Amino acid sequence: MTGRARIVLWLGRRGLNEVLRVPGASIPGVLAPTIFLLGLTSMFGAAARLPGFTADDFATFIVPVGMLQGAAFSGAATGVNLARDIERGWFDRLLLVPAPRLTLLAGIVASAALRSLLPSSVVFAAGLLIGVPWPGLGATALAFALVMGLALGLACYATTLALAFRTQQAAPLMQMGGFVLVLFTPAFAPEDLLAGWMHAIATVNPVTYVLEGARQGFVGDVTWPRTWPALAALGGMLALLGSLAVRGMRRTGR
């Protein structure tokens, strides 16, 4: 293993400390999407009977949404934690080492991908418990991979804000980004049933394609025509948000 890989591993491991050593800290990020899933299913479950609804039941339709919300929470938490590290001076310690800024950034955001597995697994398990059919191993793996990728992208977004504002007071902005991106998708109704303006936003929102990719297996089969747009959208988000975070790191690092 190279020195840079060891740094990413160490910083990623450190990012998991909050989950592993302060279990209570991850409760909000786990509870919120789970409550969304259970609450919305019980309130709007009948929506699945609408003509044009593409799933047999509402819970199956929104389980992937809950999993992506878990990713959004994990991404935002990475930014909030970085802002706290900046306030406390820990971040200066990182900037004082000769390691490449890209390596430091990779270490900081890497933990988001792993952290996202906790809320998304709980949402997934809760879905299975309330009767959502097993989507198959391939679909499950794809869904979790997309969740981790989205968490990584949103961690880059939150990291950019943390580096720009250098305060935990920017936490609402960090949390809002992921929340809005997941909300303005066909999260709770198929695209064709969305109101005109919402449909227009969902069409250009890259998370729509990530969600549709993650929904495979839950709704319909896993197909390449629905998979590649998800991967492309995620790749584009990672490229854009990652480059913004790298720019922020380089500016802060000097």
Partner 1 sequence: MAAIETEGLERTFKGGLTAVAGVDLAVREGEVYGFLGPNGAGKTTTVRMLVTLLRPTGGRATVAGHDVAREPDAVRRRIGVALQEAALDPLMTGRELVELQATLHGISPARVRGRARELLERVDLLDAQDRRVGTYSGGMKRRLDLALALIHEPAVLFLDEPTTGLDPVSRMTLWDEVRRLKAAGTTVFLTTQYLEEADQLADRVGIIDGGRLVAEGTPAELKAEAGHARLDLTFAAGGDGPDLEAAAAALRPFGTPAPGTDGTHLRLALPGGAAEIAPIVRALDEAGVELRGLQVVQPTLDDVFVARTGHRLDPEEPRADAAAGPR
SS3 205: coil
Is position 249 an interface residue for partner 1 (rule: CB under 8 A)? no
Query: Which segment (62-70, 88-96, 175-183, 193-201) binds partner 1 by CB under 8 A?
Result: 88-96
Binding to partner 1 by residue 166, rule CB under 8 A? yes
List the one residue out of 80, 75, 58 whose CA is nearest residue 114.
75
One symbol per residue from 196 to 235: x for binding partner 1 (CB under 8 A), - otherwise; what is it?
Answer: ----------------------------------------
User: Which CB atom, from 19 or from 68, has the smaller least distance to partner 1?
Assistant: 19
CB contact set of 39 (below 8 Å; sequence gap of 6+): none
- The answer to whether 27 contacts partner 1 (rule: CB under 8 A) is no
Least distance (Å) between residue 16 CB and partner 1: 10
User: Is residue 88 involved in binding partner 1 (CB under 8 A)?
Assistant: yes
98 near partner 1, judged by CB under 8 A:
yes
Choose between 17 and 169: whose C-beta lies nearer to partner 1. Answer: 17
Task: Name the segment binding partner 1 (CB under 8 A); options: 5-13, 108-116, 137-145, 232-240.
Answer: 5-13
**49 near partner 1 (CB under 8 A):** no
Least spacing, CB of residue 15 vs partner 1, in Å: 11
Q: How far is the CB of 139 from partner 1 (least distance, A)?
A: 36
Residues 6+ apart with CB under 8 A from 245: 105, 109, 156, 157, 159, 160, 163
CA dist 221 and 229 (Å) reads: 15
94 binds partner 1 (CB under 8 A): yes
**Which amino acid is located at 44 in the chain?**
F
User: Which member of 99, 102, 176, 244 binds partner 1 (CB under 8 A)?
Assistant: 99
Number of residues that bind partner 1 (CB under 8 A): 24
Judging by beta carbons within 10 Å of its beta carbon (0-12, 13-18, 19+), is residue 180 exposed, middle or buried? middle
Q: For residues 35 and 37, give the distance between their C-alpha atoms in angstroms, rounded to a whole number.
A: 5
**Rounded distance, CA 14 to CA 106, Å?**
13
Among 23, 35, 90, 131, binds partner 1 (CB under 8 A): 90
Residue numbers at the binding site for partner 1 (CB under 8 A): 1, 3, 6-7, 10-11, 14, 17-18, 21-22, 88-90, 92-99, 166, 254
